[in-house]
Structures are given as structure tokens and as C-alpha cells.
Chain A
Amino acid sequence: MSVGDILSILMFVAFIALIFTGFPVAWILGGLAVLFTAFGIIAEVDFAVPLAVNWDYTALTVDRVWDVMNNWVLVALPMFIFMGLMLDRSGVARRLMNDFVRLFGGIRGGMAITVVLIGVLLAASTGIIGASVVLLALLGLPQMLERGYEPTLAAGTVCAVGTLGILIPPSIMLVLMADRMAMSVGDLFLGALFPGLLLGSLFVIYILGYAYLKPSAAPVPDDTEPVNMALLLDVLVAILAPAGLIIAVLGSIFFGIATPTEAAGVGAFGATLLAWFNGQLSLPVVKSVLQETSRTTAYIFAIFIGATAYSLVLRGLGGDALIADILHGLPFSPTGVVIAILFFVFILGFFLDWIEITLIVLPLVSPVVMSLGFDLVWFTVLFAVCLQTSFLTPPVGFAIFYMKGVAPPEMSARTIYRGVIPFILLQLIGLICIFLWQDIVLWLPSQAY
């Protein structure tokens, strides 16, 4: 094992150890980049180990940050956060949830199922996890907790459904994958749709089952009205406006009025209008929404910046090559290779974020998979589901981090970690289904165009 390999592994281990100190994740990532550059230089100068990692190399961080700064697609992120906060602060979200509860209140777990449904709709309009997790947490978390839901169930639901945003198109992850693989984005988008819906359905089934087995986890309100025509009409009218908003976002993409990026701005505008119609648009509300948009956007981008420095140095030390070596050493049959790759990606997902895994592993394994005769769209979607799961898997689960930022202070990271475990298992079940029935992915693209 080379010195570069050892430094890579140390850098990996250091990150995982340090996040448990409770120091901000973003600065741990950035700081380790600097520290390990120094170690690399020491190894090179004092021990004549040629690593070619030095301060000039690590200065590339700035060019990589510039890539985030002029990134047209990421403009959507603060806008989706603004939209979520505006719906929350103006009381629109609360009212929407209340209406749904009147409808589904009699069903055990109805509230959580509502969150799943809204989450799937949101996923179809945003493609950025940070945005959808935050938005969903604002919409659903306080309401579920107020009604006495088990905090782990509430947190797990929000986190898991929030990650669907990166699987169900439009999705920034699928865009990057298509770009890296020189594939058509359209195929990937269509291919990922049913797997996304499948996972959403699994979540619903789980919530129903869990609430049935453990009624105290998802209490039914005492004042449930009987569901009749009048109530149905009432609720329909009430959800008209917020539903209209979601339709506006989706529709503006669908009819080509706005690009997926701009749709976020249109949605934020719509949310502001809704707040205004409801007479809730006051200066304090606007200020509070704007300031919290700033804070939330800031903590997400700080992690982006730290992570880009970290991965640059890890790459320089040879971390990528190390992963490649491990992959090349897999001694399996064709199907075995695919399973091994997916398992490997799933495990990597515990520690690395999706961008790194996409950049490092995907180009490496795709020729192998193709040469074995598997469909590349099918494989890429499986890969995408593994990466979507990586947002949930501790210790480095970004959905958990983002959720932590907006959850009530009394909800600890431990609660969230515990809450996501059943959903990780559901993700695995979904993954197995997609693996066994390729048509879940391939049917839709084969019908289109």
C-alpha cells in the first residue's frame, strides 16, 4: 500500500471521526483539505514520496467554488427554500396539512402519508435534495409532532421522502449522470420515474403497517369528522390554491414556460401570492422568510464549498485510484459484478456524497456493465437509487444534516438517525425490486418518442 493510499484512508477516517465532535461539517471538510495538503507536502519533501499535491494544487478549490458561483442550475436552490419558508410562515402549509388531515384523519398514519404524497409532488418539481428536505420539513414536521406522532417516524418520513426529489425528474443528479456518461437525459428521466413512485408507495405501505401495529406512533385525532360529500368539497376548495401552486410549478416546466431552474422562482412567486391572498403577507413574515432563506442557503453552500475542497485533495492523494483498484479487483460473475458494484456504492454512500461517487465510480463501472450486456439506463437508475439512499445513511447523510438545520431544537440528531433506519431498509427493498424487474425502469423510455 502506497503512502498516498494511506493518506487517503486517513483523510477518510479523519472526516468520519471529526463530524462526531459536533464542529460544523462544512469547516471539517474544508479544514481537512488544508491539513492533508500539508501532510502531502511533508510526505513529498521529507520522505521523497511523489504525490504532486501542494498548495498550488489545492488552490484549485477557488476555481471549483467559481463553478458553484456561476452555476445556473443551483439558482433554483434558494428559490425552493424561499417557497417552502413562505408556505410555512404564511400559514398556508399548516392549513394545507390541516385540510388533508380532515380528509385522511381517520386513517392511522394519515398525516405521514400526506407528507409522502406532497413530497412526491414536490420531488416532481425540484431536483435538489437540500431544497426538498427543507421544504418538506417546514411543511410537515411541526404538524406531525403537534399531533403526537413519534418523532422518529416523523423525522424519518420527512428525510426519506425529501430524498425522492433527486430521483424523480427533474433531477440535478440525473442531469450530471447523463452528462458524464454522454447519455440522453430524457431516457434517464423517464427511467427514474417509476422507481421513484415505487419507493414512494413502499413508504406509504410501511407507514400504514407501522401505524397499525403501533397505534401510539401515529395517533388519530379525537375530533375526526365523518368523511362525507360536504367535507370532501370543503377540502377540495381549501387545497385548490396550494395545489394550484404545485401545478403552476410543474405546469410551467411541462409547458415550456419556464426551465426547471426558473420554475423554482415561479414557485416562490406563487407562494408569495398565496400568502398575500390569505392576508398573511406582512413585513415581519417577509423578513423572517428572507433571513431564514439566507441561513439555510448558507449552510448548504458552505457544505458544498467544504466538500469540493475535500474531494479535490482526496483525489490528489489518490483516493479515486484506490477506489478504482478495489473495483477492478472484484472476482464475480456478470450479475455478481453488478450486485457487487451496487453494494460497493451503497457502502460508499455511507461516507461520501453523491457528486463524488458519481464522478469517481460511475464512469469507471459503466463500460464494465455495458460490456457484460446490461442496459445502461437500467444500471444508471439503480446506481441513482443507491446514491439517493446515501443521503439517508449515517454518518454522512446530507438529508439528515439539512433536516437538522430546520428541525425544532429539541429534536436531536440521534432521533433523526434512528428515524431513517427503516426507510433505508425500504430503499433496499425498492432496489431489489428494480434489480429483479428491469421493466420498472425500461418500460417508460421504450414507450416515449
Chain B
Amino acid sequence: MTVPLPKNTPETDPYPHTRFSRWVDTVLVSLGHITAWIWLLLLVVIVVNVTLRYLFSEGRIELEELQWHLYTFGFLTAISYAYSVDAHIRVDVLRERWSLTTRAWIELYGIVLLLLPFVILVLWASVPFVVYSYETGEISEAPGGLPYRFLIKLILPVGFTLLFLGAIARLSRVMTYLFFRHDR
């Protein structure tokens, strides 16, 4: 029996790449492929934790906390990766009938008026969130939990910085398509 190999997510909107966007997308996709291994690690941690607790009656709060640390790292870094491969959910009931140019305009307005402001809000608000945790040397509130809580909190701005880069990259492509290509 043959193994169905991964469908490469087909790009529905083939806007021209810029040098910047090519660089950013390459980085984000490679990074996404690396951080995807976190799910395997998470699986192993869960199985080890269940085994320890059930067979050896040994509950490890560190392992329980490690589970959500890994999960948080995984999904926050994956958001920019998913953005680069255009995997975020769109409702395309009407969209599928529109021309590439119409879609490009929507993408332009969407990125400038919705996505970027949101990313900037989260980045701005996450500064005190991380700094406070670092300054107070925050640790887990559970007995035997993990230290250095600012590190896991830091993943939020890191993830959104990557998303910011991805958004700028896509914006540069859309703008190139709309304003600098006359052969379309």
C-alpha cells in the first residue's frame, strides 16, 4: 500500500515574491519544520508521565508543567509558520469567485487595518507581561513546578514578532503585485 505523501499546501494567491518576502518565508517555514518536532517531544513527555504515575506511583509536577510549556512553545511558533504557508482559515464562499486583483486589495486592507494593528497590540502589551515576570523572578505557583517563567512568557512576543515579519513579507508581495507590476 502506498503512503499518501503530504499535500503541499497549494498557494491560492500566487503574488510575486520580493527578495525580502522570499527570505522571510524561507526562514519561517524552516523554523516551522524544526519546531514541529515539539509535538513528538510532547507525546513522549505525556507517555513518560503516565507511565511513571501509573506504574511507579510517582507524580512529577515538573513533567505535567513541561507538557503545557512544550504545547505553548509549539502553537505560538506554529502561528507564523501557518501564516507563511497560508493555512489560516478563510471563509471563501464569495472569495473563490473574485479576481486575484480584488483579493489582493482585500489582503492589503486586511493586513494594514486588521492583522498588523492586532499584532502590534499584542507585542506592545506583552512587554510588561514578560518584564514583570523577569524582574520578580517568577516561578510556578505549584509546589515543585518549573522556574524561569519569563522564558515561556517570552514565547508570546517572539511568536508574534515572527508573525509580524510574515505579515510584512506578505504585504510586500501584495503591494508589488498591485502597484509595481504592469503586466498583470
Interface positions of A (Cβ within 8 A of B): 18-28, 30-35, 55, 58-59, 61-63, 65-66, 69-72, 74-75, 78-79, 82, 88-91, 94-95, 252, 257-258, 262, 264-266, 268-269, 272, 280, 282, 284-288, 290-299, 301-303, 305-306, 309, 395, 401-402, 404-405, 409, 412-414, 417
Chain A residues contacting B64 (CB-CB under 8 Å) are 72
B5 touches A75 (CB 8 A): no
Give chain A residues whose Cβ lies under 8 Å from the Cβ of B107: 23
Query: Which DSSP category, helix, strand, loop or mixed, fits chain A's interface?
Result: helix
Question: Could you tell me the distance between the alpha carbons of A65 and B118 in the complex, rounded to whole angstroms?
Answer: 13
Q: Which residues of B contact A269 (CB under 8 A)?
A: 43, 46-47
Enumerate B105-129 residues with CB–CB distance to A below 8 Å: 106-107, 110, 113-115, 117-119, 121-122, 124-126, 129
Contact of B71 among A78, A91, A258 (CB under 8 A): A78
Provide the residues of chain A in CB contact with B119, threshold 8 Å.
Answer: 30
B176 at interface (Cβ–Cβ under 8 A)?
no
Please name the residue on chain A nearest to B4 by beta carbon. A89
Given A78-B39, A294-B82, check contact A19 B47 (CB 8 Å). Answer: no
Indicate if B131 sits at the interface (CB-CB under 8 A): no
CB closest chain-B residue, reference A296: B87
Q: Say yes or no: is B173 at the interface (Cβ < 8 Å to chain A).
A: no
Query: In the assembled complex, how far is the CB of residue A159 from the closest CB belonging to chain B, in whole angstroms?
Result: 14
A268 partner residues in chain B, CB cutoff 8 A:
43, 46
Answer whether residue B182 sits at the interface, using C-beta atoms and an 8 A cutoff. no
**Contact surface of B with A, Cβ cutoff 8 Å:** 1, 3-6, 9-10, 12, 32-33, 35-37, 39-40, 42-43, 45-47, 49-50, 54, 64, 67-68, 71-72, 74-76, 78-79, 81-83, 85, 87-96, 98, 103, 106-107, 110, 113-115, 117-119, 121-122, 124-126, 129, 152-153, 155-156
User: Which residue of the partner chain B has the closest CB to A83?
Assistant: B43
The answer to whether A26 and B74 touch (CB under 8 A), given A91-B1, A290-B39, A292-B6, is no
| Cβ contact of B87, chosen from A30, A288, A295, cutoff 8 A | A295
In the bound complex, what is the Cα–Cα distance between A264 and B47 (angstroms)? Answer: 10
| Subset of 22 A-B contacts with CB under 8 Å | A21-B95, A22-B94, A23-B110, A23-B114, A24-B89, A24-B115, A27-B110, A31-B113, A55-B121, A61-B125, A62-B129, A62-B156, A65-B156, A78-B74, A79-B46, A91-B1, A266-B46, A291-B32, A294-B81, A297-B74, A302-B88, A413-B93
Are B93 and A414 in contact (CB-based, < 8 A)?
yes
A sample of 15 more A-B contacts (CB under 8 A), given A22-B98, A30-B121, is A22-B90, A23-B107, A26-B88, A31-B113, A59-B125, A69-B153, A75-B46, A269-B43, A295-B85, A298-B87, A299-B88, A306-B118, A405-B89, A413-B91, A417-B93
Most buried by B among A82, A95, A262: A262
Judging by beta carbons under 8 Å apart, are B81 and A63 in contact?
no
Are the C-beta atoms of A298 and B91 separated by less than 8 Å? no
How far does the Cβ of B184 sit from chain A's closest Cβ, in whole Å?
A: 19
Given A22-B94, A24-B88, A287-B33, A66 contacting B68 (CB threshold 8 A): no
B48 to chain A, nearest CB (A): 10
Q: Name A19's closest neighbour in chain B (CB-CB).
A: B91
Collect the chain B residues with CB atoms within 8 Å of residue A33's CB: 118, 121
CA distance A291 to B92 in the complex (A): 24
Q: Check B121–A70 contact: CB distance below 8 A.
A: no
Q: Which residues of A contact B129 (CB under 8 A)?
A: 62-63, 66
Top 10 nearest A-B pairs (CB, nearest first) are A31-B114, A265-B46, A22-B95, A30-B118, A298-B82, A288-B6, A298-B78, A59-B125, A23-B110, A24-B88
B49–A262 CB distance below 8 A: yes
CA of A287 to CA of B98 in the docked complex: distance in angstroms? Answer: 35
Question: B43 touches which one: A63, A79, A94, A302 (CB < 8 A)?
Answer: A79
B106 touches A75 (CB 8 A): no
Partner of B89, one of A30, A72, A75, A404: A404
Q: Are B96 and A412 in contact (CB under 8 A)?
A: yes
**In the complex the two chains form, what is the Cα distance from A404 to B72 in whole Å?**
24
Which residue of chain B has its CB nearest to the CB of A69? B72
Q: Which listed residue, A70, A257, A306, touches B68 by the CB 8 Å rule?
A: A70
B88 to A: closest C-beta gap in Å: 4
Assuming the contacts A23-B114, A78-B39, asked whether A252 and B126 have C-beta atoms less than 8 A apart, the reply is no
CA gap between A284 and B8 in the complex, in Å:
13
A286: B residues at CB distance < 8 A: 40
Residues of A within 8 A of B82 (CB): 294-295, 298-299, 302
Bound Cα distance A287, B5 (Å): 10
Question: What is the bound-complex CA distance between A28 and B129, given in angstroms?
Answer: 24
Chain A hits for B110, CB < 8 A: 21, 23-24, 27-28, 31
A284 to B67, CA, bound (A): 25
Contact A401 B91 (CB under 8 A): yes
